[in-house]
Structure 1
Amino acid sequence: MHVHFIGVAGSGMGALAGLFKAAGHDVSGSDVAFHPPMGPALERWGIRLLPGFDAAHLDPRPDLVVVGNVCRPNNPEARAAIDAGLPTTTMAHALAEHLLRGRTPLVVAGTHGKTTTSALCAWLLHQGGRDPAFLIGGLPKNFDASFRLSQSTSNRGLQLALGQGGAVRANPFVIEGDEYDTAFFEKTPKFWHYRPQVGIITSIEHDHIDIYPDESSYLAAFRGFVERIPEGGLIIAAAHDRHVVETVSSTARAPIAWFALEGDDTHGMPPHWLAAPSGADSAGQSFDLFAGGVFAGRFGLKIPGLHNVRNAVAALAAAAQGFGIPLGTLGPALPQFEGVRRRQDLVFEVDGLRVYDDFAHHPTAVDETLKGLRTKHASGRLWAVFEPRSATACRGLHQQAYEHAFDAADRIVLAPLGRSDIPADEQLDRPRLAAALKSRGKDADAATSIDAIVDSIARDALPGDTIALLSNGSFGGIHEKLRARLAKKQDEG
């Protein structure tokens, strides 16, 4: 087919376009801009790129038009496709209807940890010989792209696993299951459409306030996801999370495998998969794994933070219980996992300073990320440079929660809000947050600009310090600005 993507430069849409191209289709795509890294990647994958949104991009007539959820009802290209009666669909439906047939979707859902857990699942299944396909919202460092088609769709012996109830699970397809809405013309969560056979739920904490105005609407999205996992499927669920326990236990039709860390309050659910952390240093961390109450061995993990131990246990459970890979095979594969770009990602070091990039923006994610970096780098000061950018982070919904999210940091710098469309009376109050942090003994301030932040770091950071740049966006180009400024300072001696 000729498949045309409207809004192709987003991380999910771009990866899906790459998948369609890898599957042998003729692919084109339009967007307002094609900035790195997605723009060059799309060109490298052989996708024809058309600048702007214009009805003329639909000539010659595509066989299928995929409309991204960034498009609004007045998008001229999407509107023209719909009005002309062209076969029009969404990212979620295009994936489900054209690429998931004959495969076993492993869908990773949750407010936090989706990207890393999805990448872990893909890596473990790959190392276990299951030849997985995957579509992930970030770039796993163990692979050269955020998507992959399996090399074969045949039910080879290595690809077969007996799940609970005797169901055969073959040809795994790992999908990061985003709960965001599907399109302007279909206001349903994307992860409802991925036909999950094995589902992981890492956490549930109210997010995406622009889509889910209250907690009840957010919880309803996850209940709908759980309901869609069939009786012959498998749900791997976080027992430490009250919302996960309540949602899954009250809704699930499929068997449930609970996972937790030693010492967690599991809300009355005995964990099938339990990890007991056994040590952490700059090289990584280790944990003892218990499966069904039986000691299954000591496992190592290169990436820091207890939240990543949780992610690893969920992925191990999916690979072992969901797809039949022996834990003896998975053990050596786990410490080879390199992580995901923009997740505790060391982007450069200059003159003894370590600069990390991380996608964290929700208070819980900020807290876990900083704790992980503090464990990895016990000496030197930890700087938390935070840009509120998402529709939720820019609002006052988590004003008080942010007062505790930076506990692991020594120096906190709050960047200007990353979006200008939030009403003033709904905005996160940065000066108030900085004052609250100071009252708790923290060195904190609300910066006036990105350049002012770069000046502050260049002036005050010392060798041995760790700088964590936290944003779910481009953060005003701070990474390269800071790199250049610190390199210049080093050259000047």
Structure 2
Amino acid sequence: MASLAGMLKQQGHEVTGSDAAAYPPMSDLLREIGITVHEPYAERNLERRPDLVVVGNAISRGNVELERVLDERIPFCSMADILHQEFLSNREPLVVAGTHGKTTTTSMLAWIYETASARESRFAPSFLIGGVAENFGTSFMVRPTVPFVLEGDEYDTAFFDKGPKFLHYFPVAAILTHVEFDHADIYIDLHAVKIAFKRFVNLIPRRGRLVAFDGSANVGECIANAFCAVERYGFKDDSHWRMTDLRHEGTLTHWTLWRGGEKFAEISLPMAGEHNALNATAAAALAFGQGVPSEAIVEALRTFRSVKRRLEVKAVAEGVTIIDDFAHHPTAIRETLRALRESYPGQRLVAVLEPRSNTLRRNVFERELVESLALADQVVMAGVFKSESIPVAERLVPEHVVDALNERGIPAALCQDADAIVSMLAPEVKSGDVVAILSNGGFGNIYQKLPQAITESAIAARLSARLS
């Protein structure tokens, strides 16, 4: 929604917004581009009657502003509606979909097109990304050119449209990264998730192209009846885009990429993790299929600078590295911790988790969550975010996760909130430790509080040692 607001302002519209609580990086982005965000929701925010209200999918009946919109018959629509009408209908949408990796892959694809545009201006992309792409310093760009790179979200569209947002985007080419059960608040099971992705695939025209991960049976099922050309990518010998000789050097990853059995390129990526190498391969495959030169692809991946809140180093305090990652699912947590193991070999890894996403707040993945967190040397969990909104029978019990980890010999503790976590961790972490903060929200401003507390604790300890 923040990105859409920026796009509409760039088109010349006057834009304001409302939220319960806005937090970085999007709150910073909105401030920089001059868009006012009202906090919290209130009827007075609509006293200057808008021409149109765009209703985000987090808004439900009972929201004071929505109720006023309905009572006063103020025109409204969904984000997906206005995106299609204002920006996509006269361009060629290149859509990245999948349970995991969408934001990073979309950012990679946009940067590949941007790099290619230095050679041919027709490649200059418009884009919409669910995070701030560090190469651009923004999450959106609108240009008069044809390519429009965007993240295709399988989450529902609005309170009046419970279908996935990506069904409004009508791609000419697409990527499908993974298909797993997620968004337990709107999908009843994996079957329902697969139906959504099958419908997405069915929107791609015959002349289009679908790049799909080769390591998932669920992906295979979802693409089985595609009318367009399908190119698989991954590690399998018979995949059209095959990765070999994957190797890690700290935060650098290298591999050989093959296309149709012939060597395509040697790829270097300044990011850790097999999952990021797969994301890069998917972006490379789609771009090349749309005519982007291989030289531009290799150069773009070599210079890619990630996305805010994806393995982002927030601070180094007294030798302790604080990492922020937008974790929303046990699989994402697993891949994040694996990547940190590769980036910081031999260093103690502390995982700090806030169960905040609608999936993590439920007990549907309790066993998988334990398996993922067990990759850390120590785990600290916060209480379930807004636990009262989840039925007791469906709600995650953090104590169960903590107990299971302790039984495995992984020291784990439960703290109710960010302040309690900071108070516990600050005095005990040591130089060389890596703390991974895993949350898809603001998490009580822990990203700023923890480095400050670590520094203050270390200063106090040194002072005490001198006095003694």
Whether the TM-score (by the shorter chain) exceeds 0.5 is: yes
1:106 to 75, 94, 99: 94
1:261 to 232, 235, 250: 235
Deviations 1:149-178 (A, max 9, x none): 12x33xxxxxxxxxxxxxxxxx21111111
Does structure 1 residue 197 correspond to structure 2 residue 165? no
Aligned-pair CA distance for 1:59? 5.3
Q: What is the TM-score of this pair, normalised by structure 2?
A: 0.92
Kept in 1: contact 2:427–2:454 (CA 8 A): no
Does structure 1 residue 70 correspond to structure 2 residue 71? no
Kept in 1: contact 2:362–2:396 (CA 8 A): yes
Aligned-pair CA distance for 1:489? 2.4
Residues 319-330 of structure 1 mapped to structure 2, 5 A cutoff: 319-321=287-289, 323-330=290-297
Deviations 1:224-271 (A, max 9, x none): 11111111111111110110111111x3111111111257xxxxxx31
1:332 to 299, 303, 315: 299
Match for 1:140: what amino acid?
A: A
Aligned-pair CA distance for 1:457? 2.1
User: Helix, strand or coil: the match of 2:3?
Assistant: helix
Counterparts of 1:464 and 1:290, CA distance in 2 = 38
Aligned-pair CA distance for 1:76? 3.7
Structure 1 window deviating more from structure 2 (192-201 vs 419-428): it is 419-428
* Residue of structure 1 in register with 2:466 after alignment: none
User: Helix, strand or coil: the match of 1:175?
Assistant: strand
Q: What is the TM-score of this pair, normalised by structure 1?
A: 0.88
Residues 22-41 of structure 1 mapped to structure 2, 5 A cutoff: 22-41=10-29
Aligned-pair CA distance for 1:283? 3.9
Match for 1:186: what amino acid?
A: D
State the identity as a percent: 40
User: Helix, strand or coil: the match of 1:253?
Assistant: coil
* Residue of structure 2 in register with 1:435 after alignment: 403
Does structure 1 residue 380 correspond to structure 2 residue 368? no
Deviations 1:377-419 (A, max 9, x none): 1022111111111121011100111221124311122221122
Does structure 1 residue 142 correspond to structure 2 residue 135? yes
Kept in 1: contact 2:214–2:239 (CA 8 A): yes
Counterparts of 2:263 and 2:366, CA distance in 1 = 42
Alignment coverage as a number of residue pairs:
455
1:297 to 262, 265, 269: 265
Using a 3 Å threshold, how does the CA distance of structure 1 residues 33 and 470 change in structure 2: closer, same or farther? closer
Deviations 1:40-97 (A, max 9, x none): 4324323344455455555554333211112212334333434444432100010001
Using a 3 Å threshold, how does the CA distance of structure 1 residues 451 and 295 change in structure 2: closer, same or farther? same
* Residue of structure 1 in register with 2:120 after alignment: none
Counterparts of 1:440 and 1:49, CA distance in 2 = 46
Using a 3 Å threshold, how does the CA distance of structure 1 residues 369 and 213 change in structure 2: closer, same or farther? same
Does structure 1 residue 91 correspond to structure 2 residue 79? yes
2:308 to 327, 333, 341: 341
Aligned-pair CA distance for 1:363? 0.9
* Residue of structure 1 in register with 2:158 after alignment: 183
1:244 to 216, 219, 228: 219
Deviations 1:413-433 (A, max 9, x none): 222112222223322222222
Counterparts of 2:423 and 2:399, CA distance in 1 = 19
Kept in 1: contact 2:25–2:308 (CA 8 A): no
Deviations 1:20-52 (A, max 9, x none): 111122223333444444344324323344455
* Residue of structure 1 in register with 2:465 after alignment: none
Kept in 1: contact 2:251–2:342 (CA 8 A): no
Aligned-pair CA distance for 1:454? 1.8
Kept in 2: contact 1:105–1:198 (CA 8 A): yes
Match for 1:204: what amino acid?
A: V
Using a 3 Å threshold, how does the CA distance of structure 1 residues 481 and 435 change in structure 2: closer, same or farther? same
Using a 3 Å threshold, how does the CA distance of structure 1 residues 48 and 405 change in structure 2: closer, same or farther? closer
* Residue of structure 2 in register with 1:288 after alignment: 256
Does structure 1 residue 133 correspond to structure 2 residue 126? yes
Kept in 1: contact 2:115–2:299 (CA 8 A): no
* Residue of structure 2 in register with 1:396 after alignment: 363
Deviations 1:313-342 (A, max 9, x none): 000011111x21111221122121010111
User: Helix, strand or coil: the match of 1:137?
Assistant: strand
1:217 to 192, 195, 209: 192
Aligned-pair CA distance for 1:445? 2.6
Using a 3 Å threshold, how does the CA distance of structure 1 residues 482 and 196 change in structure 2: closer, same or farther? same
Kept in 1: contact 2:25–2:132 (CA 8 A): no
* Residue of structure 2 in register with 1:266 after alignment: none
* Residue of structure 2 in register with 1:168 after alignment: none
Match for 2:234: what amino acid?
A: A
Kept in 2: contact 1:136–1:147 (CA 8 A): yes
Kept in 2: contact 1:350–1:490 (CA 8 A): no
Using a 3 Å threshold, how does the CA distance of structure 1 residues 47 and 305 change in structure 2: closer, same or farther? same
Counterparts of 2:195 and 2:202, CA distance in 1 = 10
Using a 3 Å threshold, how does the CA distance of structure 1 residues 34 and 352 change in structure 2: closer, same or farther? closer
Using a 3 Å threshold, how does the CA distance of structure 1 residues 408 and 195 change in structure 2: closer, same or farther? same
Residues 305-320 of structure 1 mapped to structure 2, 5 A cutoff: 305-320=273-288
Unaligned runs of 5+ in 2: 118-122, 463-468
- Cα RMSD for the two superposed structures: 1.9
Deviations 1:424-482 (A, max 9, x none): 33222222222222333322233344333223322322211111111111122211111
Unaligned runs of 5+ in 1: 1-12, 154-170, 264-269
Structure 1 window deviating more from structure 2 (105-114 vs 476-485): it is 476-485
